[in-house]
């Protein structure tokens, strides 16, 4: 029992902090959208700027994407096919997957979320179906996202599962040297800051045939040509020993998730995933609104606008880093974890910032180790320099007051 998951312990340790967060008015906020990350609380009419939004390029409110979502529903005449996609599907599903495939030059399968992409693909990997019929040892990075970790018990029923320290290349290479087939499961860009050593991992792949599984929920859109992400940008092109899952709910500004299954001409894995990919074999798929949004967002990703938004994001990240100290300062990624320590103090910081018009997400166990709580802040291309400056002075003032 509890070799891989312990929900009971998570509830015991962190439910109280959710209560504290909620009492401080920092959870269950019901708002109306004022665009560009601004919201207005319905009950108090108070407006605030969301400093913890995943919409790194501001595409969540792009008019072309919204229009395409609405048109897709009307033109298709339905929100869902209401039958498993492997049996009957609307052509807009194929067009959305083709648009994504064009973008990343890989075989793409869409899923209702990144978590569903992980649920569909990790058991396939553990089965050996992607590694010549031989189940690989599944080696998870300790900090891999929760949606990957929660698949460990299922993977462990078909393959050996191990967990190694964060970014521990030596431990991974030792396992590779054993001569057994190894699959490494990690985030490309980590949701609480930092990234995988992708170049070094690719060297291990080249040397030992290591299979690599990456979660690119944060790298996709924000990095690389056409927003293809950290991993593909480093690789140059996908290969058949690499599998990437991503969210389309975050920087991409649409809906759902996707699996980049391998080389574009390789239909076999697409068929395997739609036949044996767990949740996606039932009635789940991205609805037609989401599919319309994906096609429009893919168009934006292929246009010159994407590079401009990425450059704008980098400018904002640089300004943020000039003004605010953080562990990952200078790494060019848009995620900043502001370490505070105690869970109580973290909520106090967030409460004070909210009173000054800035929403920030307090992050505590099990997302981060106990007693290492802090605020997760995400910089966006559509932030105003003045807002970043005002936020920085509010945060720095709080830090000074507490020292
Ligand atoms: C948000 C997140 C996910 C989950 O994405 P969904 O599309 O909401 O399922 C997966 N991995 C990482 C690293 C994330 O931050």
Minimum-distance ligand 1 atom for the alpha carbon of 248: 7
Q: Residue 282 C-alpha to ligand 1 middle, in angstroms?
A: 21
The pLDDT-based confidence of 144 (bands split at 50, 70, 90) is very high
What does the pLDDT read at residue 158?
A: 97
Find, among 333, 340, 348, 326, the residue nearest to 380 by Cα: 333
C-alpha–C-alpha distance, residues 179 and 256, integer Å: 37
Please tell us whether the domain made up of 7-50+305-402 is placed in CATH 3.60.15.10.
Answer: no
Is residue 249 in contact with ligand 1, taking CB distance under 6 Å? yes
The residue ranges of every structural domain in the chain are 7-50+305-402, 63-301
pLDDT of residue 251 exceeding 80 = yes
Fold observed for domain 63-301: 3.40.640
Between residues 1 and 314, which one has the greater pLDDT? 314
pLDDT of residue 258 exceeding 80 = yes
Is residue 297 in contact with ligand 1, taking CB distance under 6 Å? no
Stretch 375-388: mean pLDDT: 98
Mutation probe of ligand 1 site: the residue of 166, 250, 361 with most atoms within 8 A of C-beta: 250
Is residue 215 in contact with ligand 1, taking CB distance under 6 Å? yes
The pLDDT-based confidence of 114 (bands split at 50, 70, 90) is very high
Is residue 286 in contact with ligand 1, taking CB distance under 6 Å? no
pLDDT of residue 252 exceeding 90 = yes
What does the pLDDT read at residue 318?
A: 98
pLDDT of residue 403 exceeding 80 = no
What does the pLDDT read at residue 187?
A: 98
Is residue 376 in contact with ligand 1, taking CB distance under 6 Å? no
Is residue 114 in contact with ligand 1, taking CB distance under 6 Å? yes
pLDDT tens profile 354-376: 999 999 999 988 888 888 999 99
What does the pLDDT read at residue 195?
A: 97
C-alpha–C-alpha distance, residues 67 and 403, integer Å: 49
Is residue 216 in contact with ligand 1, taking CB distance under 6 Å? no
What pTM does this model have? 0.96
What does the pLDDT read at residue 278?
A: 86
What does the pLDDT read at residue 56?
A: 98
């Amino acid at each position: 029992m509890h070799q891989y998951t312990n929900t009971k312990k998570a509830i015991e340790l962190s439910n109280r902090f959710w209560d504290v967060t909620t009492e401080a008015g920092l959870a269950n906020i019901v708002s109306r959208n004022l665009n560009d990350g601004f919201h207005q609380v319905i009950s108090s009419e108070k407006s605030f700027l969301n400093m913890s939004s995943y919409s790194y390029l501001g595409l969540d409110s792009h008019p072309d994407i919204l229009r395409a979502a609405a048109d897709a529903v009307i033109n298709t005449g339905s929100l869902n096919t209401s039958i498993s996609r492997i049996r009957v599907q609307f052509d807009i599903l194929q067009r959305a997957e083709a648009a994504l495939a064009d973008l990343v030059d890989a075989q793409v399968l869409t899923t209702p979320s990144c978590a569903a992409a992980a649920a569909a693909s990790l058991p396939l990997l553990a089965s050996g179906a992607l590694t010549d019929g031989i189940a690989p040892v599944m080696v998870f990075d300790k900090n891999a996202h929760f949606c990957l970790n929660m698949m460990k018990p299922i993977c462990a029923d078909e393959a050996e599962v191990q967990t190694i320290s964060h970014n521990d290349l030596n431990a991974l290479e030792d396992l590779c040297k054993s001569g057994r087939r190894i699959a490494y499961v990690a985030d490309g860009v980590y949701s609480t800051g930092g990234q995988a050593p992708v170049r070094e991992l690719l060297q291990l792949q080249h040397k030992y045939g290591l299979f690599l599984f990456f979660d690119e929920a944060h790298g996709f859109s924000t990095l690389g040509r056409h927003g293809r992400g950290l991993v593909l940008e480093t690789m140059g092109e996908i290969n058949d020993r690499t599998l990437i899952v991503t969210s389309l709910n975050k920087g991409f500004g649409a809906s759902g998730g996707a699996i980049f299954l391998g080389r574009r001409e390789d239909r076999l894995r697409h068929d395997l995933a739609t036949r044996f990919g767990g949740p996606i074999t039932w009635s789940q798929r991205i609805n037609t609104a989401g599919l319309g949004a994906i096609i429009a967002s893919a168009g934006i990703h292929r246009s010159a606008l994407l590079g401009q938004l990425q450059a704008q994001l980098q400018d904002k990240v640089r300004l943020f880093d000039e003004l605010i100290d953080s562990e990952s300062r200078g790494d060019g990624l848009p995620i900043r974890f502001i370490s505070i320590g105690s869970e109580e103090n973290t909520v106090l910081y967030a409460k004070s910032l909210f009173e000054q018009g800035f929403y920030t997400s307090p992050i505590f166990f099990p997302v981060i180790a106990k007693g290492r709580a802090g605020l997760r802040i995400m910089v966006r291309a559509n932030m105003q320099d003045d807002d970043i400056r005002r936020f920085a002075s509010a945060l720095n003032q709080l830090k000074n007051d507490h020292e």
